[in-house]
């Protein structure tokens, strides 16, 4: 079982990688929605947030901390940014490999459209 994001983490597919360690890889989104749009993914395949268990606390915490570090390095931390994890169909998840979106560099507006 592999995914495009696992292949990016293994160096098998090209990506603009901004950070990598033994647990996570961060790379720029190929279709950025804001001046800064980075995806932070576990190196190991983990399909969705719905698959997280107590065994994943280290990798989940690492994803958050790495995203905050990248935001500071990209110079967007003080003005602010948004972290997003889409899960499954209603959440709008397109790639079946857990990923945390770090988006910022412009005002992002309301979190969701009101219906
Ligand atoms: P989601 O809708 O949460 O599953 O988001 C998937 C994201 O992955 C989208 O923002 C895509 O633009 C991005 N994406 C898909 N393929 C690649 C790729 N090869 N490299 C970088 N980003 C990608």
62-99 pLDDT, tens digit each: 999 999 999 999 999 999 999 999 999 999 999 999 99
Task: Give me ligand 1 centre to Cα 38, in Å.
Answer: 10
Where are the domains positioned within the chain? Answer: 4-104
**Residues shown for the chain:** 115
- What's the whole-model pTM score? 0.98
Check 31, 37, 97, 99 and give the catalytic one: 99
Taking only the tens place, the pLDDT of each residue in 7-35 is 999 999 999 999 999 999 999 999 999 99
| 6 φ/ψ angles, rounded to the nearest 5 degrees | -65, -35
Superfamily assignment of 4-104 in CATH? Answer: HIT-like (3.30.428.10)
Helix, strand, coil: what percent of the chain each, to 5? 30, 20, 50
């Amino acid at each position: 079982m592999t995914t495009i994001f696992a292949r990016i983490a293994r160096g098998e597919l090209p990506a603009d990688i901004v950070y990598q360690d033994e647990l996570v890889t961060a790379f720029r989104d190929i279709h950025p929605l804001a001046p800064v749009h980075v995806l932070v993914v576990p190196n190991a395949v983990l399909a969705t947030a719905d698959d997280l268990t107590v065994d994943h606390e280290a990798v989940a915490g690492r994803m958050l901390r790495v995203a905050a570090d990248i935001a500071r390095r990209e110079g967007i931390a003080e003005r602010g940014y948004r972290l997003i994890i889409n899960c499954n169909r209603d959440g709008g998840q397109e790639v079946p490999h857990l990923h945390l979106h770090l988006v910022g560099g412009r005002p992002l507006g309301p979190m969701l459209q009101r219906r």
